[in-house]
Amino acid sequence: MRHGEWHGSRRFSWLRAAVLGANDGIVSTSSLLIGVASAGAGRGAVLAAGVAGLVAGAMSMAAGEYVSVSSQADAERSDLARERRELQEDAEAEHRELAAIYVGRGLDPTLASSVATQLMARDALGAHARDELGISEFMRARPVQAAAASAAAFAAGAALPLSTALAVPAAHMVPVVGGLSLGFLALLGAVAARAGGASPWRGALRVSFWSALAMLLTAAVGRLFGTIGS
């Protein structure tokens, strides 16, 4: 039976990945656009750099997430294979181990043994995976889905400053892209903090601070190299 309580921790995994990808897409692409524009490059060069940054960033996020989650999946498969072998070789020892876990969580030994018996009779490997290894079907590592989600989140975030740069006149590109990007980022930080049960103002402030710093630094670098090259 499902109950009506809401827990923010249930959303933490997908929320973190989505926020990280979108945030990275906005910050990276807006900073790149601002840096290239500050160097005095033409509108075409700025937009080309933005599109290249979107594609490269999305693929980088996908590759990094795929490698990371694949390593986690490999470790899970190895742990499950070892657990399956131990259940076949000495099921009684595994029963005692599972019962001890429940005793450690507050059950008396007799009840813990009974619970372990019933759960192992239904799905021994599933019980050990969940309660001994901390692996559940809901939290299993899925490399392809993680890579696709990270790439999509990055691309969606990067599309915001890129579409802004495409729509505004070249003379106003830097302030408009910077301002709107910071607004998007503050909103994203507030929504993510709110979904996690934290203060939306604090979430907006910390995202805005680091993002503004990144844009200012890339603008300074672009202006420096623009001056050197002129």
Q: What's the Cα-to-Cα distance from 27 to each of 90, 130, 177, 181, 209, rounded to whole Å?
A: 54, 38, 11, 8, 11
* Residuewise pLDDT in 10s, the chain (230 residues): 444 444 444 445 555 666 778 889 999 999 999 999 998 888 899 999 999 999 999 999 889 888 888 888 888 888 888 888 988 888 888 888 889 988 888 888 889 889 888 888 888 888 888 887 777 665 666 788 888 888 999 999 999 999 999 999 888 899 999 999 999 899 888 877 776 677 888 888 988 899 899 999 999 998 888 766 55
**What is the pTM for the complete model shown?**
0.70
pLDDT for position 140: 60
pLDDT for position 98: 85
Q: Per residue in 14-44, pLDDT tens?
A: 556 667 788 899 999 999 999 999 988 888 9
How far is it, in rounded angstroms, from Cα 26 to Cα 156?
A: 8
DSSP for 40-107, written as a single string = T--HHHHHHHHHHHHHHHHHHHHHHHHHHHHHHHHHHHHHHHHHHHHHHH-HHHHHHHHHHHHHHTT-
pLDDT for position 170: 84
pLDDT for position 49: 93
Contact yes or no for 22/157 (Cβ under 8 A): yes
Domain map (residue ranges) of the chain: 13-225
For residue 172, count CB atoms less than 10 angstroms from its CB and return exposed for 0-12, middle for 13-18, buried for 19 or more. Answer: exposed
